[in-house]
Amino acid sequence: MKYLLNNIMLVTAIVGLLTIACQEQGVKSEPSLKQAFDGQFLIGTAMDEAQILGEDSSSVKLIKKHFNSVVTENSMKCEEIHPQEDVFNFDIADKFVAFGEANNMFITGHTLIWHSQLAPWFFVDEDGADVSRGVLVERMRKHIQTIVGRYKGIYVGGMWSMKQLKVMVPGEKQSFIPL
């Protein structure tokens, strides 16, 4: 029993000394992804609404540590940011931009017009009939100019560098519309 007690005390003392020695030497942790590739290229990720709002704190901590470039998943797509013809909801988008700026991140604009996530009103009039090409083009122009105008100077990603919009209408030749 005395032998066992002496061994336990010896092991406890060794563990204690090793702990103190490691703390004094300041054991280094591995570099983050953004540190490992600093000066070579950006490390980016997409953020969902829970992350933007800070509700997913473990993911937010990971994003802050490892990434220096962000894009939002859906909060800037038309159905979210422009749910009705004359209604824009910038709440989540503004919080996303604020997060990126507060963490010195490269903020990339997302798709301005995305076929599967346009708000339902975009294609129809108040009676539910399909709108004309001219109305559709004007709605796209207003949507794009409003979003880009609000975040001018913040977004530098390639998705927002367009000067014209390619419009494809079934049965018609493709055309480009200056914005």
1: in domain? no
pTM of the model: 0.72
19: in domain? no
6: in domain? no
pLDDT tens-digit series, residues 73-89: 988 899 999 999 999 99
Residues 6+ apart with CB under 8 A from 163: 178, 179
Distance CA 46, CA 18 (A): 41
14: in domain? no
How many domains, in total, are found in the chain?
A: 1
Residue 93 lies in domain: 33-178
Q: Is the pLDDT of residue 50 over 70?
A: yes
Q: Is the pLDDT of residue 168 over 60?
A: no
What share of the chain in percent tops pLDDT 90? 53
Burial profile 8-39: b = 16 or more Cβ within 10 angstroms, e = fewer: eeeeeeeeeeeeeeeeeeeeeeeebbbeeeee
Q: How confident is the model at residue 103 (pLDDT cuts 50, 70, 90)?
A: very high
4: in domain? no
Q: How confident is the model at residue 13 (pLDDT cuts 50, 70, 90)?
A: very low
24: in domain? no
Q: What's the rounded mean pLDDT across residues 87-115?
A: 91
CATH of the domain at 59: 3.20.20.80
27: in domain? no
Continuous segment of H or E residues that includes residue 62: helix 57-66
pLDDT tens-digit series, residues 141-160: 999 999 988 988 776 554 45
CA 152 to mean position of chain CA atoms: 17
The reported pLDDT for the residue numbered 157 is 53
15: in domain? no
Contact 176, 164 (CB under 8 A): yes
